[in-house]
Amino acid sequence: MNAQRKQTFTLLRQAIQLVKPPEPLSIAEWADQHRVLSPEDSSEKGPWRTSRSPFQKVPMEAISDPEVESVVMMWGAQLGKTAVQLNTIGYYTGHDPAPIMVVQPDLVVAKDFSKDRLAPMYRDSPQLAKLITKDKSRDTSNTILYKSYPGGRVNIAGANSPASLASKPIRVVIADEIDRFPVSAGKEGDPVSLATARTDTFYNKKLVFVSTPTIKGMSRIEKLYEDSTKEEWCVPCPSCEEYQPFKWGQIKFEYDEETSDCIKVEMACKHCGTLHPEHEWKHDYAERGKWIAGKKHATTRGFHLNSLAGTINVTWKKLVNDWMKAQRGGSQLLKTFINTKLAETWEEKGQKVEHEVLLNRREMYQARVPTGVRYLTAAVDTQDTRFEIDVMGWGKGYSSWRVQRHIIVGDLNQQQPWDELDEFLARTWKDAEGRTFRPVRILIDSGGHHTLKVYKFCKPRQGRNIYALKGEEKGDGTETPLLNGISTNNVVNATVIRVGVSEGKATVFASLKLEPGKPGSCRFPLPHPDNPDAFVYDEEYFMQLTAEQLVTRYKEGLPYTVWVKTRVRNEALDLAVYNRAAIEMINPNFDLPLPNPVKVREAPAKGKKPKKKNVPSSI
């Protein structure tokens, strides 16, 4: 009887534990007590300490605040966005168990997040390790995209997958990098709305939206931040004690162009104008820094943070060096800096260039390879009846010069045009000093009706840096990086370079609008007796190069941008994108010196043999 009563009391205590409210504890306090950083997650493994990055404390407290429904984090890179999300998951696993959904931009990223970030936290944090079963092939309670624990579960979803978003009711939704979500999850509609709709049955629901911003007017995170408390992380001026956020416009620096290094950087106070270095602004950071709201909001707190506030792996000196590199690298690098470092949206200027402007911009080259070129690339567009080839030179800041356009006409089902293509791609070009150049990368379009033939052509020539290319353009506003990975999943195991065409077109159009001579600008040759191929850079070429424009469309009430044709033929634009991908593949160092020029040797005197001399043949 006593044993039966004891068992009854044990069951009663366990039931009470499940239904009683959790002890009052914020996410930041929970993390300081229970979170352990994994070696895969941090260079400083061991117990979590919120004081290392004090700006993370209040956002975590806001997420666990019963009066707050939504938290918006418009943050820059390397500031602990993922750490805050993991702490939130840990808190609602180990302290206040609840059903959670974590939404990533796609299923591939979702699986990587689960394996590389979530699983190590569950493994190395003792409180959580007791609640999550070990990975087993047949254990349905713990898979890559689903994990259960007493009182709740974690569903890890991809914004591109309607099925992964269609789970049971969810109390806590964490949406990561929402500016990179597709406009619609298949045919089901906005993935953010689909996920948040799962929380409707919970009075104490939590919505956490996290992202670096992207394009002004298109940015989901910016729109959510504007409808929030709009809080900024502020510190007092070391001189006048007036609180203010870190602003890039107040940064003053000295930069050594010869060494490409920042030698001094300070921030000016917006009130008294006094300059102070980083360590003075961040003195007693945890005690003196605080979040200051821009407006009131009943249920949503929003936090904006740029990389100037960073404490781990980010310094002002490094940011200045990144800024100068972006200045030299053109608009795409500037956009990346503005989005990921300053956590601000990028305002796209009208992406339209008149072809007559470029036609009239042509100039006389002194040689096939103009002065300033460090590397050559080549791109090949594959049509049913011809190959179109564009050879481009590249110099500092991704400045470019068109070198030669060539068209091979023939039936691509026959061998002759392929032989001619092979011969052309083996050519070399010379500059005015006699240096010989050959392309460092050649990309051949594998779309259309000759995909397998392109693979078979490229596979044995990969040693000559000739690769097949596959353009990827979703047309739904989803941002795909210019270099979006490689694939070898084809019958001949050829390496295929996946290229984000939309980003490439934006980069090309930005360069076309720069004045010749500026870093990142484009230059074109005039016909010349020694360069008859310049005739092919004619009006038709420039009409093709400007044959598309960026327009705004709407789906499910959300704006997105897409490239649309204004003319039928656009081969020149495609080739420009492929060439840009080719040069970025090699991560070029434009500061490397060129080989010594070839000197013309005098004829040797009779009876004497010329001395042998090694002359570099290419770069």
Burial of 401 (0-12, 13-18, 19+ CB in 10 A): buried
pLDDT surpasses 50 at 239? yes
> Alpha-carbon Rg of the chain, whole angstroms?
29
Q: What is the pLDDT of residue 142?
A: 83
Is pLDDT larger for residue 48 or for residue 216? 48
pLDDT band at 254 (very low <50, low <70, confident <90, very high): very high
**Element of type H or E holding 562:** strand 558-565
Name the nearest CA neighbour of 92 among 13, 168, 205, 211. Answer: 205
What is the mean pLDDT of the segment spanning 23-49? 87
State phi, psi for 548 to the nearest 5 degrees. Answer: -135, 160
Alpha helices per DSSP H over 125-262: 126-129, 162-165, 191-196, 220-226
pTM of the model: 0.66
Q: Is the pLDDT of residue 137 over 60?
A: no
Pairing label, strands 36-37, 243-245: unpaired
- Asked if 152 and 158 count as a contact pair (C-beta separation under 8 A), the reply is no
Report the pLDDT value the prediction gives residue 532, as an integer from 0 to 100. 65
- Residue 615, pLDDT > 50, answer no
- Relative to beta strand 375-382, strand 439-445 is parallel
Instruction: Give strand pairing partners of 211.
Output: 74
Is 270 in a helix, a strand, or coil? Answer: coil
Identify the band that residue 614 occupies on the pLDDT scale cut at 50, 70 and 90: very low
User: Residue ranges of the alpha helices (H) in 64-167?
Assistant: 81-94, 107-113, 119-124, 126-129, 162-165
pLDDT grade, residue 616 (50/70/90)?
very low
Gap between the Cα atoms of 231 and 248, Å rounded: 17
Looking only at the bridges linking them, the beta strands covering 172-176 and 99-104 are parallel
Mean pLDDT of 288-294: 96
Tell whether the model's pLDDT for residue 186 goes beyond 80: no
Is 404 in contact with 368 (CB distance < 8 Å)? Answer: yes
**Res. 2: pLDDT tops 80:** no
Query: Is 53 in contact with 43 (CB distance < 8 Å)?
Result: no
SS3 content of the chain, % helix, strand, coil (to 5): 35, 25, 40
Indicate the SS3 state at residue 80.
Answer: coil
What pLDDT, on a 0 to 100 scale, did the predictor assign at position 220? 92
Taking residue 171's Cβ as centre, other Cβ atoms within 10 Å add up to 20
Q: What is the mean pLDDT of residues 268-280?
A: 94
Q: What value does the mean pLDDT take over residues 163-176?
A: 89
Amino acid 122: pLDDT = 94
- pLDDT band, very low/low/confident/very high, at 478 (cuts 50, 70, 90): low
CB 404 within 8 A of CB 533: yes
pLDDT in the model for residue 12: 58
Q: Confidence band (pLDDT; 50, 70, 90) for 619?
A: very low
Contact between 414 and 420 under an 8 Å Cβ cutoff? The reply is no
Q: How far is CA 25 from the centre of its chain?
A: 36
Q: What is the mean pLDDT of residues 374-396?
A: 95
Element (H, E) at 441: strand 439-445
> How high is the pLDDT of residue 389?
96
Q: In this predicted structure, what is the pLDDT of residue 268?
A: 95
pLDDT over 80 at 612, yes or no: no
Q: How many whole angstroms separate alpha carbon 176 and alpha carbon 195?
A: 12
Mean pLDDT over 524-535 rounds to: 72
Q: Give helix then strand counts, H and E, for the chain.
A: 20, 27
How far apart, in whole angstroms, are the C-alpha atoms of residue 290 and residue 305? 12
Summary mean pLDDT of the chain: 87
Q: Of 303, 78, 339, 351, whose CA–CA distance to 215 is shortest?
A: 339
Q: Which two tokens stand for residue 474?
A: 């979703």
DSSP line for 342-374 = S---B-PPP----HHHHHTT-B--SSSB-TT--
* pLDDT over threshold 50, residue 139: yes
pLDDT in tens, 397-432: 999 999 999 999 999 999 999 999 999 999 999 999
pLDDT, tens digit, 9 for 90 and up, residues 307-352: 999 987 789 999 999 999 888 776 778 888 999 999 998 876 555 6
28: CB partners within 8 A, 6+ apart: 50, 56, 57, 60, 61, 87
465 in Cβ contact with 442 (< 8 Å): yes
Question: Confidence class of residue 602 from pLDDT cuts 50, 70 and 90?
Answer: very low
Q: What are phi and psi of 497, to 5 degrees?
A: -85, 120
Q: Reply yes or no on whether the pLDDT at 593 is more than 90.
A: no
501 near 469, Cβ under 8 Å?
A: no
Inter-residue contact 408 to 457 (CB < 8 Å): no
Check residue 576 and give its pLDDT.
96
Task: Between 570 and 16, name the one with better pLDDT.
Answer: 570
More confident call, 41 vs 252? 252
Average pLDDT over residues 163-188: 86
Please count the other Cβ atoms lying within 10 Å of the Cβ belonging to residue 289.
19
Provide the pLDDT for residue 451: 93
How far apart, in Å, are the Cα atoms of 554 and each of 88, 180, 475, 549, 558?
33, 16, 12, 16, 5
Q: Which amino acid is residue 141, in one-letter code?
A: S
Q: Identify which has the larger pLDDT, 519 or 304.
A: 304
Q: What is the dihedral of CA 85, 88, 92, 94, to 10 degrees?
A: 100
Domains and CATH numbers, the chain: 17-340 (3.40.50.300), 355-585 (3.30.420.40)
What pLDDT was estimated at residue 3? Answer: 65
Rounded CA-CA distance 469/488 in Å is: 11
pLDDT at 138 over 80: no
**Of 456, 553, 582, nearest in space to 183 by CA:** 553
* Tens digits of residue pLDDT in 361-383: 999 888 889 999 999 999 999 99
207-237: per-residue pLDDT in tens?
999 999 988 878 899 999 999 999 999 999 9
Task: Compute the average pLDDT of residues 271-289.
Answer: 94
Spatial separation of the C-alpha atoms in residues 18 and 179, rounded to whole Å: 38
Counting residues of the chain whose pLDDT is more than 70, the rounded percentage is 87
Residue 610 has pLDDT above 90, yes or no: no
